Amino acid sequence: MKNVTKNLSILALLFAFTLATTTTFANNENPAASTIELKFIGKHENQPIFELNLSNKDADEFSIVIRDEYGSLLYSGKAKGTNVTRKFMLNEEIGDTNLYVEVKSKKNSKVETYKISKSYSYKDEPVITSAK
């Protein structure tokens, strides 16, 4: 059971690192003025949870839209402030459908789009346990 838990933890970390993306808005004056980060942080009752971090030096208003690959709107909302964090729990009924998260800054009209897709990987290695 420990090995299964360990392998699932490793798989979750690998999945989180593949989704973790940091993007800096193009700004010649201060390139680190605003960052958007979307990452997988785990599951609750087998439902995936994502965290969206909006970090910027000056207060800004962001519009957040989540759509599936067919264009159906799943979520729409706004966030205002300097360092904003939003967590989203997705319904497992979505299945293997790709999702798109669009974040738009009101100040500079910059739009960042992220794609969320399921990725499976399997680790094939021998496991040695005590035979007692």
**CB-based contact 111:103 (threshold 8 Å):** yes
**CB-based contact 97:68 (threshold 8 Å):** yes
Q: What pTM, to 2 d.p., does this model score?
A: 0.62
CA dihedral 7, 10, 101, 90 (to 10 degrees): 40
Q: How far apart are CA 131 and CA 77, in angstroms?
A: 55
Find tokens 């738009």 and name the residue.
104
Report which secondary-structure segment, H or E, holds 109: none
Q: For 16-53, what is each residue's pLDDT tens digit?
A: 444 444 344 444 444 445 688 898 888 888 888 899 99
Q: For 43-84, what is each residue's pLDDT tens digit?
A: 888 888 899 998 888 888 999 999 988 988 988 999 998 888
**CB-based contact 43:35 (threshold 8 Å):** no
**CB-based contact 64:77 (threshold 8 Å):** yes
CATH of domain 2-24+33-116: 2.60.40.1930
Half-sphere exposure of residue 7, counting CA atoms within 13 Å on the CB side?
12
